[in-house]
Amino acid sequence: MPSRGEYSGQDWGTVSFSNSRPTSAKGGGNMANAQRAGQVSSAARVGGGGNSMTTGSGISAAKLDAETDELKHQTVSTDLKKAMISARNAKGLTQKQLAQQLNMQPQVINEYESGKAIPNNAVIAKIERHLGAKLPRAKK
């Protein structure tokens, strides 16, 4: 049994690092020679490395362009926008002041009031508690 200080199978050869590559690897001749000799095999993968014009979910670009309503994300309803604006104005707060009091970015309040945000019921509840007004929730 080898002692703890002894390394079996360890390669203690000299390694040098430099910015230039060896001349034999530049042309890729080693790989070509290995493939000819049958030491290395390569197989073409379906759709591998090509521009297949599909998105990550497998929908083609043409289908995505032709799609209209089905792939749109849910946005803030008009009722929620109006309720937030009126409750904030009733408290006499600006969007920036409300955001600071809620420890949020002012952009979040702006997006909710302009209807661009993706509704999150946790954020709506936080705003609702602070303003003291009942706000319509997003449907699941």
Q: What is the average per-residue pLDDT within 44-60?
A: 59
Q: Tell if the pTM clears 0.95, that is, is over it.
A: no
List, by residue range, all CATH 1.10.260 domains of the chain: 78-131
- Tokens of residue 47, six digits: 């759709």
Q: Based on the number of CB atoms within 10 Å of its own CB, is 102 exposed (0-12), middle (13-18) or buried (19 or more)?
A: middle
Work out the mean pLDDT of the chain and round it to a whole number: 78
Could you say which architecture CATH assigns to the domain 78-131? Orthogonal Bundle (1.10)
pLDDT digits (tens, 9 = 90+) for 10-41: 777 788 888 876 655 455 567 777 777 777 77
- 2-6, 52-56, 57-61, 78-82: least confident range: 52-56
Percent above pLDDT 90 for the chain: 37
φ, ψ for residue 93, nearest 5 deg? -110, 150
Residue 86 to residue 89: CA distance in whole angstroms: 5
